[in-house]
Amino acid sequence: MNQAKTETMVNGYSSKAVVVDDPKLLQQKKAAIRLMGPSKFQVIADFDNTLTRFWVDGCRGQSSHGLLQQENPVYNAKRDELFNYYHPIEFDPQLPIDEKTKLMEEWWGKTHGLLIEGGLTYDAIRNSVSSALIAFREGVVELFEYLEERDIPVLIFSAGLADIIEEVLRQKLHRTFKNVKIVSNRMKFDQNGNLVSFTGKLIHSLNKNEHALDMAASLHEELGETDDQIIDSASLKKRTNVLLLGDHMGDLRMSDGLNYETRISVGFLNHNIENSLDNYRKGYDIVYLHDAPMSGVVKLVSELFPASD
């Protein structure tokens, strides 16, 4: 039987806990990653409820999907109707994966169509983010800075919209990081700031993984983006040690498509802990409970690559 390690304090935060199901295996993984060094390392992170907090000011925080408000409220209602229909399908365990994938493509396609038809503008994105109840976990900036100093890439995988995530980063962190890349669906706006189309292949909840890197790479080339914005998928695939951050069991699939050597997975179990902990502790190397801060991950990365390295 594995011995689980539980701490009731995480960097001074009371009522937080971290669960490590197999401490010996974790130490072996840390040693292997440290030996290979930062040039062989990358971080893969989910966005909503992983980098962002589950609770904000005592209320359930909004997701990057849920915060968007179009100028025409009729289209917000239409997108809500689609959510109510397709969301249960997304989590239906009885539905075969190929059938579910087709339905997810259908849902995303219809939603994107409504955003165009409803006349979405970039101003609406900016205003939606400004008034949204969304906040990053404490320690996210420190994590990004520590990784940036060591030229370690951070890939944010999202089935949502890259433009919204970038605006959240701008407004809530007030800075950008050259090592942070977003692998997500990207919008194309005309010179007046009106949404006209989406670029690249559709990224949805069931293909949100390293296979999507090639989609994102071609997408960036189409946009003619500058070198520091382009995702170099060939270079990333040589970084065969991974730190994966997620909040759902499905997020463990984000490293699919990468032939990794060593992976440390960190799961944020924000709610429904009693029913979910057994699955999370078996799936993730480290599980943080109760909407914990990112400080434990900062400490982990500093142990892998100490400041003197």
pLDDT, tens digit (0-9, with 9 covering 90-100), for 217-269: 544 444 444 444 456 777 888 899 999 999 999 899 999 888 899 999 999 99
Angle at 218 between CA 256 and CA 215, to 5 degrees: 30
Are the C-beta atoms of residues 254 and 210 closer than 8 Å to each other? yes
Q: State the pLDDT confidence band at 215, using cuts at 50, 70 and 90.
A: low
The residue with greater pLDDT, 65 or 116, is 116
For residue 78, pLDDT over 50 is answered with yes
Which residue numbers are catalytic? 46, 48
**Residue whose token pair is 């939603």:** 111
To the question of pTM greater than 0.85 for the whole model, the response is: yes
Domains and CATH numbers, the chain: 18-59+135-187+199-304 (3.40.50.1000), 71-119 (1.10.150.340)
What pLDDT is stored for residue 216 in this prediction? Answer: 54
Percent of the chain with pLDDT over 70: 87
Distances in Å between the alpha carbon of 51 and those of 54, 135, 147, 158? Answer: 10, 9, 15, 11
Q: In what order do the strands lie in the sheet with 5-7?
A: 5-7, 17-20, 286-289, 262-269, 241-246, 41-46, 154-161, 180-189, 195-199
